[in-house]
Structure 1
């Protein structure tokens, strides 16, 4: 199976140490400086998470544009796309647990891709993401997936600098941060170009300050060899 086939079959790829190590201290400092309490966002955020407003930072923008990441996103979306949103998220001690869910495509399956860029080492003890490989494209003959069934979920673990790129219809969830150890990350969203008008309608609600006019074209081949 080729890298491309595996990506589409599984619905995600984990790019190991994709963020240059020398960027991480600055990115962590930017995250911490941008943390805002829930009531200072246009739409209140979950109380068991830290949320950081950092989308205008140049190094954060560089992470969003890493060639490996753009290559995978282009393969998943399959047409011209743009960077829609990036914000910082971190589960607080004793918080962060989510039920398996999909973020949901908009107009067609695969028109949105997400990425999680990890600034700290992550695993089961500090609330790392769980995913269900291959769950982004359901078989019409199968019964609906039971979102409480964790038998197929995989608990991710890895090092600061890793980036998870996934189809938004892939079942995933945050886990309980039982240890209280830091687990800062970026949540990055990429949209098909056709979604730009609806994206503009909700800029204020999502507290987006960055320029979203740049466009990216899918490459001829996805390089996922660092997965």
Structure 2
């Protein structure tokens, strides 16, 4: 696995010290300019095409993006992102799923939750998630909220229902911003009070052979394995 990461240019130097400190202390870090404006528009257009004819509720969902062609490779196949994942999970990790999520106006709110089944600690983290904003995340359009440091607080108790926590922070930023957060961190979507959907793609990573995690694992298609070459090892 280390050989695959080396081939992809993944090293600790791909992150600045502040990003590593943020992952440790806050439970998340920010990667600015991760996706360009033109590519973000192309991704939204392709996702819109893939959603045609599907039945959707208040929040739009589309799974299986890892198998939808090279356009989506740019959302995870980046040295800085994979270096951040390595910092949290170690070099032997697997990509579990890439999916699209967009809260429509009036929808998208969630209760604070973790995407892990236990409260691990440093050196034992099992799951982390990258979220890429394809449109700007603002104070009103359903940006993800996190409670910094809650991944380290095993006594943390979330508010009832969709209630606010006094220490929560909204992840706001322009289209193309990426955040990687420790999935043992308490987080959730927030209600979209704007007039447009809030488009985002999430990619889940987990430590290999670390036990059960929320969600299912699927093997990549043969076409995806051929397209990615050695990098496909990260999917299997």
Within the candidate set 153, 169, 189, 2:184 is matched to 169
Larger helix share, 1 or 2: 2
Which runs of 5 or more structure 2 residues have no equivalent in the other structure? 1-16, 226-230
Q: CA deviation at 1:136?
A: 0.6
Alignment match, 1:55: 66
Pairs within 5 Å for 1:106-117: 108=120, 109-117=124-132
Structure 1 residues 100-109 or 146-155, which shifts more? 100-109
Q: CA deviation at 1:106?
A: 6.2
Q: 1:26 to 1:133 in 2, by over 3 A?
A: same
Alignment match, 1:131: 146
Q: 1:21 to 1:146 in 2, by over 3 A?
A: closer
Distance in 1, Cα, partners of 2:176 & 2:131? 10
Deviation digits for residues 98-131 of structure 1 (CA, Å, limit 9, x no counterpart)? 1111111569541111011110011121111111
Q: Does the Cα contact within 8 Å between 2:66 and 2:97 map onto a contact in 1?
A: yes
TM (norm. structure 1) is 0.78
Pairs within 5 Å for 1:1-227: 2-3=17-18, 4-35=20-51, 36-38=54-56, 47-53=57-63, 54-56=65-67, 57-104=69-116, 108=120, 109-138=124-153, 143-147=155-159, 148-195=163-210, 202-203=216-217, 213-215=232-234
**RMSD in angstroms over aligned alpha carbons?**
2.8
Alignment match, 1:223: none
Q: Does the Cα contact within 8 Å between 1:37 and 1:51 map onto a contact in 2?
A: no
